[in-house]
Amino acid sequence: MQSDLLRLGIWDMAETKVVASILHQGCTRDGGTGARQGSALMVDVGANTGFFSAMALANGCRVHAFEPTLAHEPYLSTSAALSKNPSRFTLHQKLVSDTTGQSLPFDTWNLADSRRKGVQTTVESVRVDDIIDEPVLYLKMDIEGHEPAGFRGLQRLLRRHQVDFILWEHSPRYYSHEEKSEPPSKLLRQLGYWVSSLGHGGMGNYVAIHPNARPDLAQAVRARVAPASFRSKAGMRG
């Protein structure tokens, strides 16, 4: 990913195109009229060095970013400063999970492997539900196999507020048996979301669209994802 960013200026082609479809018109909440109605919110769970946070800020969104790896903080802060909208950026240096205030073993990258290896360094956990309590335009979750726990920690948000678009990494090799039978896609479908795999080039990522999301943005996102024949098969696994 870092080499693609250096050579091409993008993080992942499929994901970047989908996110651009959402943020370019969605951040200002103008409904296509051009009348500015305030900044929409992006929630960046597993922000890494902040590529997608920077995209959101550049398009006028507010951002809550969650990133437990301390080495990434300077990159995130620099991205916020360069966006000229640093007041719209909030960084939470905690690991998103289904608990808040728990010390979890963490090797700066992967919780599941950290537990297996008996890593001694720890990071504090947080539930998204304990931080975010408002509608969200776009929520991204990329936490290296801990996604099921992350979704368990934001169910109140999903049930109380409209989260228009969700994109998450699907890493079932790290999931427990129970998590494999109850993947994030199952919860989202129960809530009425349209769910699709991004297919080849999306690196195992999935996208979900709220039934009341802005129609023009929803149509633009659907145009970017995998063909229906692949989607109907792959979407069941996410």
Query: pLDDT by residue (tens digit) across 32-60?
Result: 444 445 689 999 999 998 999 999 999 99
Cα distances (Å, whole numbers) of residue 41 to 59, 154, 174, 232: 11, 15, 29, 30
Q: Token match 């969104």: residue?
A: 61
| 227 neighbors 196 (Cβ within 8 angstroms) | no
- Classify the C-alpha dihedral 169-233-219-188 as positive or negative: negative
**pLDDT for position 112:** 81
| Apex 159 CA angle, 181 and 169, nearest 5 | 45
Query: How much is the pLDDT for 235?
Result: 42
pLDDT at 32: 47
pLDDT confidence of residue 38: 67
pTM of the model: 0.87
Residues near 232 by beta carbon (within 8 Å), at least 6 away in sequence: none
Q: Which residues of the chain have pLDDT under 70?
A: 1-11, 29-38, 199-203, 226-238
Q: State how many domains the chain has.
A: 1
* pLDDT 10s digits, 147-185: 999 999 999 999 999 999 999 988 888 888 889 888 999
**For residue 43, what are the β-bridge partners?**
64, 139
Query: In CATH, what number is assigned to the domain containing residue 17?
Result: 3.40.50.150
For residue 22, give its domain range. 2-237
**Token pair in block for residue 116:** 């297996």
Q: Phi and psi dihedrals of 92, rounded to 5?
A: -115, 110
pLDDT of residue 33: 45
**What confidence score (pLDDT) does residue 131 get?**
98
